[in-house]
Structure 1
């Protein structure tokens, strides 16, 4: 595949319906489907070689977009919302009626809602201020006690077996158990949320049922905190001077809860995989030459929890990475590709574990506000696991580990390990909470806030990225 001459004139993004769409190398490449999702990093490098730092691509239903591959260009888009808005109503395909957001395949990412994800300017500043200031109120030492407690509970469940799957039995459970406490939900909801949130994100046959459970639980939580505040995120959002509505409080607790699960579960699994498969990594860690927080930063460079963030929309004609971007064009930030940009990492084998200039949590105003909480959960949880099971080892070869993913992210399916069995003290069995109340009052509040009736509860998945 040839690289265009630096002096060549970039081709404009073809309009929808252009014959070049999806026809091999003649037009933009598709970012969806089995081929693109099997090895996204290989596709990113092909696009970088063919187009440079910004490449024309096609997203679902062959809608044209720009994939931002360069590290500098990712920062430029993320840090200038005046040029690249987070508000999906700026999308030209929505404005001219080509796409109806609620009916589009990527509805969760292109349907506007009154949350930080889809706003800029004063509305965004008001909402982000409330979320960020509330998250910053957590006592890190107290939070680590929660992590340690739940990590040991999870380890106790499999320590006597001498084997475990660290994805299903550890990394996918720990973040949700901790976040249940941080949002102020009753502890008995933790085990059910561990099952419900991954289920609704995967879009299984029971996804809508899981989605409704999560929504009902959060509705009940907001109502209970209105009557009796606590030391938790929900209470602090209710009390914040920004005066969030009940719908805004529920929606932002939902954003934090689901985002923390998705990114932190990936971060824990990816770090454990590297510890178990890279001899240099484990030797550095055990020999004291690399601390666990430094190891996490290395993983955030090499295996971002989120591959791609959709989307941004150009507010005016502009130029980015040598490409002519038109007003209303959609852009996708490829965080994973930006992290391996040769302009900032000419040698990918060189350690960068002390460097936090990676794009794993994006950048600019919309940079992830809860990243330090995710780091703390991953750091403390992995430390507890390695301390309890120092002889842990992978039972398969690294190349046998399966990954599954979408346009946005990839995750390990399993991480099977073995170790010498340990005796543990039996813990009380977990029980599910009582049935939750109906949602009629919340449905009415949502319709008033957005101007749209809601006939099913997949709407809140729009706040995090996929159905």
Structure 2
């Protein structure tokens, strides 16, 4: 059965006709994606702090542009829920089961999709399990894995720091924290990217991630270890199998995608911004300063999906109906002229940005992401101290999507550093890591669309 057309939110210009979408900005449209920042400022000028938009599939919603309005939504769970089952368009059957936005928006049995006491129960399992990691131990993992990646490029004198470093490292670290073998990293990197970019393979990639994590959880129930999955399973709050699975997925995808973007964007800043300089040794601002500046100016996610109004309310002068979708414009909020009158002024340790959300759903792993980024870039700088842009006059290469703008390439050059032959006792393992042929990124797709969808929906 064909789903009825979406009905725009009351109060937005599209209500001139029940099915009209003319004049409403598509958050996923080519004009918005070509220059998201300019699109947000145009919407701010036209509509103020809250603007009507259409998300992928032409489903209507509101984009929250103001800094204070974003915080109001984040901090007021009595009016704005994180549970997608409150989405009126979904309840009334206007969201088809194959909508590409579902892997991002839909309800799951995890702490991000819940509110109140249920949210606190689930979130405490995640935070307490993450807190069991020794931060020094995580840094040692990051250093070792960074050195492995740098070994592969050091003798060449040139590299693409996005493809050969930033996109690889976070998932390798996550694999260590999850007790997964290193060789799973490339497959999971690709699947996570397909999911976040809402590509044609989003459902398939989501299925692959869930299948991998379901097998991992089954193994950890039989053979627990000192790792994140085992700690989720053994936590006194006793998560169900589905809750364990979806929290493993949530942390893996979010940590990987956010940290890739944070590493890549911070590398670009320290290589291009005179305030930080190419070599951090004599920079006027420190590496942690650079990370916070990036979190203000180029956060890993520009838009955070989904809040749903629980009651008829007002926000930023707009009338919001119960069941309306709201998406949080954290990038627009970070540059709101009401709070930042001069974007060229450094933030200097200010962590009041919206990059990690806020309120009850403030990202619990943000300090791990910072530690991975700091350690990775510091290790790179110590190994290749004269690293610099290969084409300093070229603009950065970006790929923009609904939720973020991704740096796709960062070519650099440096003085080649021949590798010293490792000691005999580590030579086989190290050689294997450096020369192992790449694994296939994903298994062959299921034979039919229904097979993909059924597996994704019902496991």
Does 2:66 correspond to 1:70?
A: yes
Q: 1:150 to 1:284 in 2, by over 3 A?
A: closer
Q: 1:114 to 1:253 in 2, by over 3 A?
A: same
Give the equivalent residue in structure 1 for 2:52.
56
Does 2:343 correspond to 1:348?
A: yes
1:32 counterpart (28, 48, 51):
28
SS of equivalent to 1:332: strand
- TM-score w.r.t. the length of structure 1 is 0.86
8 A Cα contact 2:100 2:202, kept in partner: no
Distance in 2, matches of 1:222 and 1:247, equals: 10
Q: 1:109 to 1:215 in 2, by over 3 A?
A: closer
Show the 5 A alignment for 1:279-358: 279-282=274-277, 285-287=280-282, 289-358=284-353
Does 2:379 correspond to 1:384?
A: yes
Structure 1 residue 259: deviation in Å?
A: 0.8
SS of equivalent to 1:160: coil
Unmatched segments (≥5 aa) in structure 1: 1-10, 439-452, 461-467
Distance in 2, matches of 1:407 and 1:195, equals: 18
Give the equivalent residue in structure 2 for 1:264.
259
Structure 1 residue 269: deviation in Å?
A: 0.4
| TM-superposition CA deviations, 1:302-345 (whole Å, max 9, x none) | 10000101111111111111111111111110000000001110
SS of equivalent to 2:89: helix
Structure 1 residue 201: deviation in Å?
A: 4.3
Structure 1 residue 225: deviation in Å?
A: 1.3
Q: 1:398 to 1:238 in 2, by over 3 A?
A: farther
8 A Cα contact 2:275 2:285, kept in partner: no
Distance in 1, matches of 2:25 and 2:274, equals: 37
Report the more deviating stretch, 274-283 or 237-246: 274-283
Report the more deviating stretch, 47-56 or 184-193: 184-193
- TM-score w.r.t. the length of structure 2 is 0.87
Count of equivalent residues = 431
Ranges of 4+ aligned residues in structure 1 off by more than 4 Å: 14-17, 199-213, 431-435
1:428 counterpart (423, 431, 434):
431
| TM-superposition CA deviations, 1:282-309 (whole Å, max 9, x none) | 1794325322112100110010000101
Distance in 2, matches of 1:407 and 1:342, equals: 23
1:86 counterpart (74, 82, 87):
82
Give the equivalent residue in structure 2 for 1:177.
172
Output the aligned Cα RMSD. Answer: 2.7
SS of equivalent to 1:32: coil
SS of equivalent to 1:353: coil
